[in-house]
Amino acid sequence: MEQKKVVTIQDISCFGKCSLTVALPIISAMGLSCAVIPTAVLSTHTGGFTGFTFHSLTDDIPKIADHWEREGIAFDGISTGYLGDERQIEIVSDFIGRFGRGKMVFVDPAMADAGVLYKGFDMDFVKSMRTLCERADVTVPNITEAALLTGTEYREEGYGEDYILDLLHKLVGMGAGCAVITGVSYDGVNEGAVAYDGVTGEITQYFTGRIPTRCHGTGDVFAAVLFGALVLGYGMEKSLRLAVEFTVDSIRKTVGDETHWYGVKFEQAIPGLIDMLKE
């Protein structure tokens, strides 16, 4: 049987476990053929490191697209993650226009967490990211990103279902086919993700025991599994369960190891992910 083929478009942070160095191994382990477009090369990610290098590959993206078009290469799905600036978002949007017709377009607006934008981003960047989310079949912001994208007040805790549903309705109202908000905890005891399908109106959610810690790169881990599972044809219910359980398992394997502050040990959770896929 022909193998499903996807491309993921995000940076390579050479050290630090996020974006491509997380997406590629996870998507490959799920049995998909995963092509990449590295949008930039950084010596490390920008969370917790200072003095990192940043080499943009924006101008290579149209050339890669031109070559792939000449070769007749096509994909079953396209996912995007951390992007460096507004021009890069525009060029990635153009790539989606050329390769994404009728395919799954999955956008993780990786730009903020815990109520604050990542280093180097401002509200113009948010505005630009909104245009990418508008054309996504599935977009997966955390609460901070969803609040920024929709111009809604950010709430760290003590919110209820109505707050999350309001964010989801606004995201779908912008044009996203389906919105999934990650890192949702109503009671501080359980944490998970809530999805709203703008076409069917269906709400799907999956929660599991919350581990009270913040680890870098967990949004990228979650996005890789959810994207892979949806392209493989699993429904939202199973896909959300796989993504939440794998993310939590990666965190569980990391907490308590202070030498591993820069990312999660997702590698050690991969055998469990493969078992869950077979269920």
Which positions lie near ligand PXL, rule CB under 6 A?
11, 13, 18-19, 42, 45-47, 82, 110, 118, 217, 219-220
* Minimum distance, C-beta of residue 38 to ligand PXL, in the bound complex (Å): 11
3-state SS string over the chain?
A: CCCCEEEEEEEEEEECCCCHHHHHHHHHHCCCEEEEEEEEEEEECCCCCCCCCEEECCCHHHHHHHHHHHHCCCCCEEEECCCCCHHHHHHHHHHHHHHCCCCEEEECCCCEECCEECCCCCHHHHHHHHHHHHCCCEECCEHHHHHHHHCCCCCCCCCCHHHHHHHHHHHHHHCCCEEEEEEECCCCCEEEEEEEECCCCCEEEEEEECCCCCCCCHHHHHHHHHHHHHHHCCCHHHHHHHHHHHHHHHHHCCCCCHHHCCCCCHHHHHHHHHHHHHC
Of 13 and 139, the one with the shorter C-beta distance to ligand PXL is: 13
Residue with structure tokens 């990449």?
36
CA gap 71, 73 in Å, rounded: 5
CA gap 273, 227 in Å, rounded: 14
Of 15 and 127, the one with the shorter C-beta distance to ligand PXL is: 15
CB contact at 8 A, 56 and 40: yes
Of 52 and 159, the one with the shorter C-beta distance to ligand PXL is: 52
* Minimum distance, C-beta of residue 124 to ligand PXL, in the bound complex (Å): 18
* Minimum distance, C-beta of residue 108 to ligand PXL, in the bound complex (Å): 8
* Minimum distance, C-beta of residue 40 to ligand PXL, in the bound complex (Å): 7
Of 89 and 277, the one with the shorter C-beta distance to ligand PXL is: 89
Of 12 and 277, the one with the shorter C-beta distance to ligand PXL is: 12
Of 42 and 96, the one with the shorter C-beta distance to ligand PXL is: 42
* Minimum distance, C-beta of residue 16 to ligand PXL, in the bound complex (Å): 8
* Minimum distance, C-beta of residue 125 to ligand PXL, in the bound complex (Å): 13
Of 11 and 245, the one with the shorter C-beta distance to ligand PXL is: 11
* Minimum distance, C-beta of residue 109 to ligand PXL, in the bound complex (Å): 10
